[in-house]
Structures are given as structure tokens and as C-alpha cells.
Amino acid sequence: MAKNSKFLGFYALVFFLIPFSVLAVDADTRLSDQSGTLTGQNIEIASLSVETQPVLAKPLPKRANFEQEEASQDARHVADWIVDSGNNRGMPFVIVDKIGAKVFVFHADGRLRGAAPALLGMAVGDDAVPGIGNRKMSSIRPEERTTPAGRFVSYMGINFYRKDILWVDYEGAMSLHRVVTNKPEERRLERLATPTPLDNRISYGCINVPATFFDKVVKPAFAGVMGVVYVLPEVKSKKEVFASYYDVE
């Protein structure tokens, strides 16, 4: 009987030990699955999570509003870039199209205030002669009389003759002002009135506009505020003059 009891005790011990060993192995396996590679179910859930992420719509480009005013492609492209990029920093702005001999004045948000023909520097070119702002006008040769291209922070001021003008580049003595008519032989009013821009190159570099346009459009736009004047290039590319320029698609 004692011998049989020993055998019964042995089998009972084996019966209880084996399941606990198996359970321990199964538990280790489950822990390994959780801390190791993802299961098929987890991969499926992760895929669903990625697929259900909302797709953000690309914002529509902002554009200048020329209304019904005729304008060159260069003027339109630069105006759109100004508005879309905010390059004018919330200020009113002006575009001077030298090739088209035309000036456009805009509200800060890109709405057109007005446009008019303009007289420009006699010489073709996008750069100013160094130090030209300190020279007497009589010393400036015809080939030096350019209207420089670029971006200029501008403001209303007074010139040497006590006339109110829009200073475009004070250091370079370049301004936008009422058309000068003290030399009848230059026929400046007649040049402004012709439909072609080919006879609009007559000034020393300043931008001449009709007096009514200056008084009713330019002055109100810059009354008590600064603005930006963009003079478009006629030789260089837009990117060369405006480094951050891009086409608005």
C-alpha cells in the first residue's frame, strides 16, 4: 500500500507540473507577440488609420484685380506674385511697366485704384549710374537717364522746387510726379496722349504721370502711409530684379 501511495503521489506531481510549464511557455509567447512584430490585425488597423487621415485642400492662389484695365503679361504676373506672396507687407503698391509705359496703383489687397500712361527715363536699362542722385541734372548724359528697375519702399514728400511728389528712390533722386511741362519743345503732354509707348522715353529717370491721375489716385493711395513701387525690368528678367518672384499658377 505504501508503495502504491508513492506512485500515486508521483503521478499527481507530474499532472500538476506539466500544465503550469505549458502555461508559462504560452504566456511568454504572447508577451513576445505583443512586444515584437505587429500582428496582421494590428497592421490592418494601422493601415485604416493612415487611410482615414483628412487630406488638406491646397489653398487657392491670390491674384490682383485689374478689373477691365489693359495690362501686359509681365505686369499681371508681378501683381499676382505681390498679392499671393504678400510681398507688399500690407501696404498700397504701384507697378511701373516701362515697356508698356504705364503705371498701375493698387490698394494693399490687390484691387486696382487706377492706371495711366507714364513718361520714363530716356535711356533703356534697369540700373542707375552710381552716385547719380548727387549730380547736377545738366551733367547727366542721355545714356545715363534710366529709370532703374526694382522694389522701392516709397512715400510722399517735397522736392527741391517745393512740389509734392512720391519719392521712389530718394538716394537716387528718382520720384513719381505730375508731368513736367516747362519745356514745350519736349511735348510731354502730347507724348502722354499718344496710344503708343514708343515716344514716352523723355525724362532724366523720373516717372511722369498726368496731373489729374497724380492728384486723384496717387496722393490718396499714399496719404499718411508708406507703400511699395515695383519698377518692372526691360532688360533683365523678373527673377533677377525680384529675387523671391515666382509664377502664380
Give every CB contact of residue 42 below 8 A, 6+ residues apart in sequence: none
CB 185 within 8 A of CB 166: no
pLDDT of 53: 61
Number of Cβ atoms within 10 Å of the Cβ of 120 = 27
Task: Please give the class, per CATH, of domain 73-241.
Answer: mainly beta
* Contact indicator for 211, 171 with CB cutoff of 8 Å: no
- Structure confidence at residue 59 (pLDDT): 87
* Residue 29 confidence (pLDDT): 40
Estimate to the nearest angstrom the gap between the alpha carbon of 115 and the chain centroid.
22
Distance between CA atoms of residues 85 and 82, nearest Å: 5
Q: 16 to each of 3, 6, 8, 39, how far by Cα in Å? A: 21, 16, 13, 32
**pLDDT band (50, 70, 90) for residue 6:** very low
Asked whether the predicted pLDDT for residue 132 surpasses 80, the reply is yes
Residue 65 pLDDT grade (very low, low, confident, very high; cuts 50, 70, 90): very high
pLDDT, mean of residues 138-158 = 97
Query: Which pLDDT band holds residue 12 (cuts at 50, 70, 90)?
Result: very low
Has residue 20 got a pLDDT over 60?
A: no
Residue 142 clears pLDDT 60, i.e. is over it: yes
pLDDT of residue 200: 98
Flag the least confident range among 30-39, 64-73, 86-95. Answer: 30-39
pLDDT digits (tens, 9 = 90+) for 168-178: 999 999 999 99
pLDDT of residue 3: 44
Domains of the chain, residue spans: 73-241
The answer to whether the beta carbons of residues 174 and 148 sit under 8 Å apart is: yes
Q: Residue 27 pLDDT > 90, yes or no?
A: no
End-to-end Cα, the chain, rounded Å: 100
CA angle 226/232/238 to nearest 5° reads 115
Residue predicted with more confidence, 52 or 194: 194
**CA proximity to 168, closest of 87, 213, 222, 241:** 222
Statement: residue 230 has pLDDT above 60? yes
pLDDT in tens, 75-126: 999 999 999 999 999 999 999 999 999 999 999 999 999 999 999 999 999 9
Q: Grid coordinates representing 133?
A: 542722385
